[in-house]
Amino acid sequence: MATPIRPAHEGQNSSAGRRGRSEARERLLSTASALFYREGIRAVGVERILAEAPATRATFYRHFPSKEDLVLAYLRGVDAHIRSDTQAAIEAAPSPADALRAIGAAVADDLARPEFRGCAFLNAANEYPGPDDPVRQVVLEHRAWYVATLTELFTRVFGDSPRRGKPEHAARHFVMMRDGAMTGAHLDGVESVGGAFQRGVEGLLTVLH
């Protein structure tokens, strides 16, 4: 789905003091999320976040013991939002095929956002290449969920068709096309790439079963 920069929200059933701390945390996370997505994670330092939030260093470290904790919170917020949007698309669609089309349409729409800077998870993976890095682990967890969700939808689409393909192959093909669209739209043109991506999704739905 889309690549939002809004962080996940904390619970509401808390005291006034807790709400104050939560508001500060939300402000720091929202500011950092926008900067990380727009400019890159490693390019944005804590001082920049404190200046733009604004917040004190003590407030920052009360909520985020390190910059890595903030980065993980940023990516988990994006993950939570994408999961919510994906579930909403699945529940609103009249069929699994239409759910896949809706997910694909959301990707194409995302490419056209003026603030679009690619996939937050692909961007983070490029900045954190170490296989055991906690940031990369969050990226891999998100992608595993995404592939599993698509695989389940393709399983339902293919059903018992005699031309049935492998749902997991279709899901990974979908993700491969999505990754290409996310990275190539700014080079080859949003309309061209978005249209090609959606035609590719339709091809997976009609050719492989």
Provide the residue ranges of all domains of the chain, joining segments of one domain with +: 66-206
- Tell me the C-alpha distance between 111 and 206, whole Å: 24
3-state secondary structure 57-98: HHHHHHHCCCHHHHHHHHHHHHHHHHHHHHHHHHHHCCCHHH
Can you give the pLDDT of all 209 residues of the chain as single tens digits?
A: 445 444 444 433 433 344 445 899 999 999 999 999 999 999 999 999 999 999 999 999 999 999 999 999 999 999 999 999 999 999 999 999 999 999 999 999 999 999 999 999 999 999 999 999 999 999 999 999 999 999 999 999 998 776 777 899 999 999 999 999 999 999 999 999 999 999 999 999 986 54
Query: Phi and psi (nearest 5°) for 18?
Result: -65, -40
What is the sign of the dihedral through the CA atoms of 59, 62, 68 and 73?
Answer: negative
- Spatial neighbors of 18 by CB under 8 A, at least 6 apart, are none
Task: Tell me how crowded residue 109 is: count the other CB atoms within 10 A of its CB.
Answer: 14
Q: Which fold has domain 66-206?
A: Tetracycline Repressor; domain 2 (1.10.357)
- Spatial neighbors of 179 by CB under 8 A, at least 6 apart, are 119, 122
Cis bond leading into 54, ω under 30°? yes
